[in-house]
């Protein structure tokens, strides 16, 4: 077996984490910071020195035949993205 993705951990106080928390709160949700175990593109970015966090999108039953997301959760996801882009663009 070959390791293709290295583990990483970002401080709960890192600016990227704080920005994500503010965006989630702005969308009317309660942020929950946690460690994820699994391969994401964020692992590759972090390995290259680009601090990157993963933000959950509200999907249910992921990786099953029942995988789905509500329109309301997708709209919250859009608000999160808008907040982050707005903050980064000044």
Instruction: Give me the average pLDDT of each 10-residue run along the chain (90 residues).
Output: 81 95 96 84 90 89 93 95 95
Report helix angle 71-88 to 15-26, nearest 10.
130
- 68: tokens are 């789905």
Q: Report the topology of domain 15-88.
A: DNA polymerase; domain 1 (1.10.150)
CA nearest to 58, candidates 68, 49, 48, 45:
68
pLDDT at 84: 97
> Cα–Cα distance between 21 and 19 in angstroms, integer?
5
What pLDDT is stored for residue 43 in this prediction? 87
pLDDT at 85: 97
Beta-carbon contacts of residue 8 (< 8 Å; ≥ 6 apart): 42, 43, 46, 47
Give the domain ranges of the chain. 15-88
Contact present, 22 and 87 (Cβ < 8 Å):
yes
């Amino acid at each position: 077996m070959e390791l293709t993705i290295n583990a990483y951990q970002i401080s709960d106080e890192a600016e990227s984490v704080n920005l994500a928390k503010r965006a989630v709160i702005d969308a009317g949700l309660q942020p929950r910071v946690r460690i994820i175990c699994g391969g994401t593109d964020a692992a590759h970015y972090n390995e290259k020195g680009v601090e990157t966090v993963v933000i959950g999108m509200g999907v249910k039953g992921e990786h099953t035949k029942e995988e789905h997301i509500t329109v309301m959760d997708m709209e919250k996801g859009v608000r999160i993205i808008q907040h982050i882009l707005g903050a980064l663009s000044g």
